[in-house]
Structure 1
Amino acid sequence: MSETVTTDRPSAPYDLLLTGGRVVDPATGTDAPRDLAVRDGRIAAVAERIAPASARRVHDVTGRLVLPGLIDTHGHIYQHVTGRFGLPPDLVGVRSGVTTVVDQGGPSCMTLPGFRHHVAEPAATRCLAFLSAYLVGGLEGHLYSQLYSPEGVDIEATVASATANRDLVRGIKAHAEIGGFARWGIRVIELAAEIAHRAELPLYVHFGQLWGLPASGANGEDADTILERVIPLLDEGDVLAHPFTRHPGGFVNREGQVHEVIRAALDRGLKVDVGHGSHFSYRLARVALAAGVVPDTLGADMHGYNTQVPPPPGTPPEHPDDENHPFAGKAGFSLVQAMSSMLALGLSLSEVVPMVTTNAARMIGMADELGSLAPGRVADVTVLADERGAFTLRDNEGTELVTERLLRPDFCLRAGARFDADSPILPEPIPVPA
């Protein structure tokens, strides 16, 4: 953890100074040792040297990376409402070094007021949402798939809700997967695309099997045809999710090749979000990256089915079967761990940082507010340790990858307020035995 020094200078021009770190800010083209000063919750100065005497508090972050506050473009934080999916927002947010989390499809036009009042307003993390195209929102669709039929979509109500809540709603969420296609065909996606078009918001589309049976072959549907049928419905800025999914219906077809339609989609301005979560495969990521599919953004896609949250001491578990949780006893996860995965796959830091800063801010239509450390911007800042050695990373297929570089969150500033990275769901490093 960084060292903090409090000075007795109440008249000092800066409230806080981060000194000695490596500032990496793609928005300003900065990648160099820099000091960073904060005043009144905003970035006040970034310079090679800022006198420690000019700040009331000084954090020595020597050896650390200092980044614009990380933006997780794929979260599930509608706790208590979306079944097991919803995680406590600050555990995946500020207490994991992430200043902004975008819930993907948890709230709907019917449940958005609850998301605002019970999640976004009390959280220290900035909480935004891509509104579900379905009236029921993220109510465990893999268990109640009948709720996600075309009859469960109301275009007028969803457009009205999105338009009236621009401060929270930054896009629309829908699913293009074989379970839904085998039941209802492409109609749900057509409706979702109309909602996004009329609301003038990006549509974020899940690819890869999700809702189980019926699977590929049922009712004449083939998972490998979904992408080529959905992409023509999408507009520039819409987002294709889960490029590295291990499930049928993703970017890599059953022959192990990236679908031909992907290159043309990227050329006309469609975007790609990792959506790591339970879908991520190092094996398929290598195939997609080799074909030139470099994601624009890096959503972690953490939820209660792939992340076990320990109950507070002395309280019973929220879910009766928590002792049988599929991730019981396994290492935790975080957006920063997903960054380490991208580095381990051969991407550079200069390619990965924009995925969680500038590109993410652009995806949610907030590039003029977030994703930069330029003076005058809100002081959302993430400080990471950049550890070297030999560490083991694992994907959801059980594949292990040894990396020599591991990023870990130290702390973040959210509008100038400090939050240590002390979330109980953060992973511990797994060193390679000597």
Structure 2
Amino acid sequence: MFKTYFFKYTVVFLTLLCSSSHVFSQEYDLLLKGGTVIDPKNKIESKKLDIAIKNDTIVAVKPNINANSAKKTVDLKGYYVSPGIIDLHTHNFYGTKENHYLSDGFLALPPDGFTFRNGVTTVVDAGSPGWKNFETYKNNVIDHSETRVLSFLNIVGEGMRGGVWEQDLQDMNAKMTGLTIQQHPELVGIKVAHYSGAEWTPIKRAVEAGEIAGVPVMIDFGGHQPPLSLTRLFMEELRPGDIFTHMYANLSSVRMTILDPSTGKLYDYATNGREKGIIFDVGHGGGSFAFAQAVPAIDEDFFPDTISTDLHAESMNGGMKDMLNVMSKFLNLNMSLEQVINASTWKPAQVIHREELGNLSEGSVADIAILSVLDGDFGFIDSSGKKMMGDKKLQCEMTLRAGKIVYDLNGLASPEWDNNL
């Protein structure tokens, strides 16, 4: 009798064990299988690899990972797999205050509705808050966004409020700006913008704050008539690693351009600035990108270090549109897909000294963009309303933020509807 029961229950136990063995072997939560991986940090250029994710972390990147080892597998054959995109220049301090422009005002945008559908997992606000209102920004935007929100801190204490507030030299406090950055890991640099005076004081104070906090400065330069010298800006005022945004702007009445209008060639100060280590950022925006600057510059191999949008309510419906549209412009201006991805992921991560981001290394957070490259006839518009035709356009198919699928355009990760209620 005992032997009979023992044999019976042993058989049942072994049957259950065998039938559930695949569950015990499922060491991954999600497997991204068969995609074409581009990971500039690790020098992976369009190689077919699988990516396994556990919780919020990338735990394996290699060919032919067994699908049975994951709870869920997504077939990405025919798609590109990139690190989550980093938009280095946005404005996300949205609010409802009158006369506050991009600092707790109506023209800034909440990030989540504009990021994941473009493969963007990290935004870097370009100086919307200042040290006086950063806590409000953190409480209202950073802490309530699924997108990772980092920020440059404006040298103006009131932030990017516009008008007379951004001309107030008395509100440009290097010490308070630097100390505030030291207290908040979300702050990655200092921003100077929209100052129209002849003084170099805003830049000097921003650099001083950068020295205090050990972070780069981003410069939105220009406003004075006649324009101040870019030679002095690059060679005397800025440090290697500081960022010159709106690099392809054509605002010659208030800002020197990188091209000599008499020859159509790059000024020496542009190439000298790059050799010094100045970072050249796109910052497309509503009025800061001209094909008349970008095309001749790129013909001389003067590509952007970083690609970014300058996202706000007045740029999103113009020529800029969104991050992938800006990236697509450069894809049609003879940058390779690998170069475009690098300028939108790993390079901005390096620029803001957040090298844990912008890559697909094992152990990194699983911020991932799944992209396709569409072929066709596409029109791209610059800030002056001029059009360039192209035959390639990037489209986001799926986005993962910290291992979670937060956007899936065509249901790549979803089961088929089977007509059962």
* TM category, shorter: 0.7 to 0.9
| Partners of 1:71 and 1:361 within 8 A in 2 | yes
Residue 11 of structure 2 is matched in structure 1 by none
Q: Does 1:275 align with 2:299?
A: no
TM-score scaled to structure 2, two decimals?
0.84
1:341 aligns to what? 329
Asked whether the equivalents of residues 131 and 154 of structure 2 are also in contact (C-alpha less than 8 Å), the reply is yes
- Taking a change above 3 Å as real, the CA distance of residues 38 and 185 of structure 1, as seen in their structure-2 partners, is same
Kindly indicate whether the alpha-carbon contact (under 8 Å) linking 1:20 and 1:33 is maintained by their aligned counterparts in 2: yes
The alignment status of 1:412 with 2:399, answered yes or no, reads yes
CA deviation string 1:300-344 (max 9, x = no partner): 11101112xxxxxxxxxxxxxxxxxxx4xx687211111101111
What root-mean-square deviation, in Å, do the aligned CA atoms of Structure 1 and Structure 2 show?
A: 2.0
Structure 1's 55 and 335: CA in aligned 2 closer, same or farther, altered over 3 A? same
Structure 1 unaligned segments of length 5 or more: list them.
Answer: 1-6, 210-214, 217-221, 308-326, 423-434
Q: 1:146 to 1:107 in 2, by over 3 A?
A: closer
Give matches, 1:35-434, under 5 Å: 35-80=50-95, 81-139=103-161, 141=162, 144-165=163-184, 167-175=185-193, 180-181=195-196, 183-209=197-223, 216=225, 222-223=226-227, 225-231=228-234, 232-248=236-252, 249=255, 250-255=257-262, 256-278=264-286, 279-307=288-316, 327=317, 333-367=321-355, 369-420=356-407
Q: Deviations over 1:46-96 (max 9, x none)?
A: 112112211111111221110011100001111114423311111222243
Q: Flag as ranges the 4+ runs of structure 1 deviating above 3 A.
A: 7-11, 253-257
TM-score (norm 1): 0.82
Question: Deviation of residue 164 (structure 1)?
Answer: 1.1
Higher mean alpha-carbon deviation, 78-87 vs 57-66, is at 78-87
The one-letter code of the counterpart of 1:228 is: T
Query: What is the identity, as a one-letter code, of the residue corresponding to 1:136?
Result: E
**C-alpha deviation, 1:409, in angstroms:** 1.0
Contact in 1 for aligned 2:320/2:382 (Cα 8 Å): no
Counterpart AA for 2:43: G
Residue 244 of structure 1: SS of its match in structure 2? coil
Query: Which digits, 9 at most, give the CA deviation of each residue in 1:84-120, with x for residues without a partner?
Result: 3311111222243200000000111111111211111
Instruction: Tell whether the 8 Å contact from 2:284 to 2:320 is kept in structure 1 after alignment.
Output: no
Q: State the identity as a percent.
A: 29
**Residue type of the alignment partner of 1:72:** D
CA contact (8 A) 1:94 1:421 kept: no
| AA matched with 2:374 | E
Amino acid at match of 2:301: G
Partner Cα separation in structure 1 for residue 211 and residue 300 of structure 2:
30
Contact 1:96–1:421 (8 Å) recurs in 2: no
Tell me, yes or no, if the aligned pair for 2:130 and 2:156 is still in contact at 8 Å. Answer: yes
The Cα offsets for residues 380-419 of structure 1, whole Å up to 9 and x where unpaired, read as 1011111112211111212211111110111211110111
